[in-house]
Amino acid sequence: MYRIPREKLDQLFALTAEKETLYIPTDATSGIAQFKKWNEGMKMSEKLKTSRSAKDFFFPQTEALVNFKISGKKIDIIDPREECEDFVIFGVRACDAKSFEILDSVFLVDPVDTYYKNRREHGTIVTLACSRPSESCFCTTFDIDPTEPAGDVSAWMTDDSVYFKANTEKGEKYIALVSSLLEETDGADVDAQKVATKEILGKLPFANLKKDAFGGGKTEQYFGSPKWAELSEACLGCGTCTFVCPTCQCYDIRDFDTGHGINRFRCWDSCMYSDFTKMAHGNPRLSQKERFRQRFMHKLVYYPENHDEVFACVGCGRCVEKCPISMNIVKVMKTLGEEEAK
């Protein structure tokens, strides 16, 4: 394990940015924490998590796929991609780091999504352990330890120091890159922080939330539950929950007519929208109840059934914080879980 004094953190950022593009969580003008490209003088946000997850780095909200240039009867096919530069994302929390594994299981299986794969290969993830989890957090429900985050490099920040541990070959390269600022240490302060954080985790509102009632093989049990009508009654279909979710991966592909050709791009979509996957015959889910049920059945039943009981939720709590009607996966789990218990 390695250590750097906190007062030298800006030097570490500067040294990193000399070699690779660096992104850190910082407070935007609106006061919302977002990942931004580091520039000299930029300060790292003290907020627990960014408003939107780090998913954008690998699966951006809008992405050019292919361009068609038309000249008379001639059509040129143009690949708009440029080779990604190497970059470092500093300060990713354990929940978001886990979400990358879930996205990998979708985009890196045959047929491999080369757009996603390219970004993953160029990105180095430096995670940051949580020391002050918020009341909306429930990552431990899904077996995520916020005191021991994954990623290429794990980091812990105490009152006076930042500690680092490399986990992958990329991580070793990053440690070597900034080694002139680091010193080896036993990490005793990190152990003490872990203990203190776990005490906080045990007192959070959702500390006792369990996933045991869900998983593969539960489709018949929950699909026809009368509770879906009650749970979805106030849903606006706004899609906010899907857009802040680190694990949602639905997208639409559209064409834009430039007047001299076509630009084809993909953009995030939401299963909560009435026009989601709408084709010539219409939308297969005609009611908001059906769309609402699809979202949560996918995260709690369909996905784990097809991915060795890994759930498509990381307990980051963003949907808890952002939903305008205060409906979220926690309420769904509690409601259906109580029904199962009865």
3 state SS of 189? helix
pLDDT of residue 152: 98
* Model pLDDT for residues 158-178, shown as the tens digit of each residue: 999 999 999 999 999 999 999
Q: Is residue 18 part of a domain?
A: yes
Question: Is there a single domain that holds both residue 126 and residue 173?
Answer: yes
Question: Is there a single domain that holds both residue 44 and residue 97?
Answer: yes
pLDDT of residue 220: 94
Question: Is there a single domain that holds both residue 193 and residue 234?
Answer: no
- Lowest average pLDDT, out of 4-8, 248-252, 270-274, goes to 270-274
Q: Is residue 99 part of a domain?
A: yes
Q: Is residue 69 part of a domain?
A: yes
Domain termination residue (choose one: 168, 201, 234): 201
The CB density around residue 268, as the number of other CB atoms within 10 Å, is: 19
Question: Is there a single domain that holds both residue 133 and residue 53?
Answer: yes
Instruction: Check if the beta carbon of residue 68 is closer than 8 Å to that of residue 77.
Output: yes
pLDDT of residue 130: 96
* Amino acid (one-letter) located at 251: Y
3 state SS of 235? coil
3 state SS of 313? coil
Residue 249 has pLDDT above 90, yes or no: yes
Mean pLDDT of 133-139: 96
Confidence of residue 284 (pLDDT cuts 50, 70, 90): confident
* Model pLDDT for residues 66-93, shown as the tens digit of each residue: 999 988 888 999 988 877 789 999 999 9
Question: Is there a single domain that holds both residue 197 and residue 270?
Answer: no
Structure-block tokens of residue 212: 């045991």
Kindly state the DSSP code that residue 282 receives in the 8-state scheme.
B
Q: Is residue 233 part of a domain?
A: yes
* Model pLDDT for residues 2-12, shown as the tens digit of each residue: 999 999 999 99
pLDDT of residue 117: 95
Question: Is there a single domain that holds both residue 45 and residue 156?
Answer: yes
Rounded to whole angstroms, how far apart are CA atoms 158 and 249? 34
pTM of the model: 0.91
Domain termination residue (choose one: 133, 166, 201): 201
Question: Is there a single domain that holds both residue 160 and residue 226?
Answer: no
Kindly state the DSSP code that residue 51 receives in the 8-state scheme.
S
| Alpha carbon distances (Å) from 75 to 68, 135, 261 | 6, 55, 8
pLDDT of residue 187: 84
Instruction: Check if the beta carbon of residue 251 is closer than 8 Å to that of residue 268.
Output: yes
Q: Is residue 206 part of a domain?
A: no
Confidence of residue 338 (pLDDT cuts 50, 70, 90): confident
pLDDT of residue 339: 66
Q: Is residue 319 part of a domain?
A: yes
Confidence of residue 283 (pLDDT cuts 50, 70, 90): low
Question: Is there a single domain that holds both residue 145 and residue 89?
Answer: yes
3-state secondary structure 110-161: CCCCHHHHHHHHHEEEEEECCCCCCCCCCHHHHCCCCCCCCCCEEEEECCCE
Confidence of residue 155 (pLDDT cuts 50, 70, 90): very high
Residue 342 has pLDDT above 70, yes or no: no
Instruction: Check if the beta carbon of residue 151 is closer than 8 Å to that of residue 176.
Output: no
Rounded to whole angstroms, how far apart are CA atoms 128 and 146? 9
Q: Is residue 209 part of a domain?
A: no
Residue 278 has pLDDT above 80, yes or no: no
Question: Is there a single domain that holds both residue 156 and residue 68?
Answer: yes
Instruction: Check if the beta carbon of residue 277 is closer than 8 Å to that of residue 268.
Output: no
- Residue of 104, 126, 105, 102 whose CA lies nearest to 2: 126
Confidence of residue 340 (pLDDT cuts 50, 70, 90): low
Half-sphere exposure of 326 (CA within 13 A, CB side): 1
Residue 281 has pLDDT above 70, yes or no: no
Rounded to whole angstroms, how far apart are CA atoms 226 and 339? 10
Structure-block tokens of residue 110: 């045959």
Residue 115 has pLDDT above 70, yes or no: yes
Q: Is residue 248 part of a domain?
A: yes
Question: Is there a single domain that holds both residue 235 and residue 328?
Answer: yes
Across the chain, mean pLDDT equals: 93
Question: Is there a single domain that holds both residue 197 and residue 237?
Answer: no
Rounded to whole angstroms, how far apart are CA atoms 79 and 69? 11
Q: Are strands 87-92 and 2-5 parallel, antiparallel or unpaired?
A: unpaired
- Residue of 187, 130, 124, 129 whose CA lies nearest to 152: 124
Question: Is there a single domain that holds both residue 169 and residue 292?
Answer: no
- Residue of 235, 216, 212 whose CA lies nearest to 297: 216
| Alpha carbon distances (Å) from 258 to 68, 70, 267, 268, 280 | 10, 10, 18, 21, 25
Q: Can you tell me which residue has the tokens 């627990």?
A: 48
**Domain containing 147: what range?**
2-201
* Model pLDDT for residues 302-324, shown as the tens digit of each residue: 999 999 999 999 999 999 999 99
Total number of domains constituting the chain: 2
Rounded to whole angstroms, how far apart are CA atoms 273 and 284? 12
Between residues 188 and 315, which one has the greater pLDDT? 315
Helix (H) or strand (E) holding 294: helix 288-297
Query: What percent of the chain lies above the pLDDT cut of 70?
Result: 96
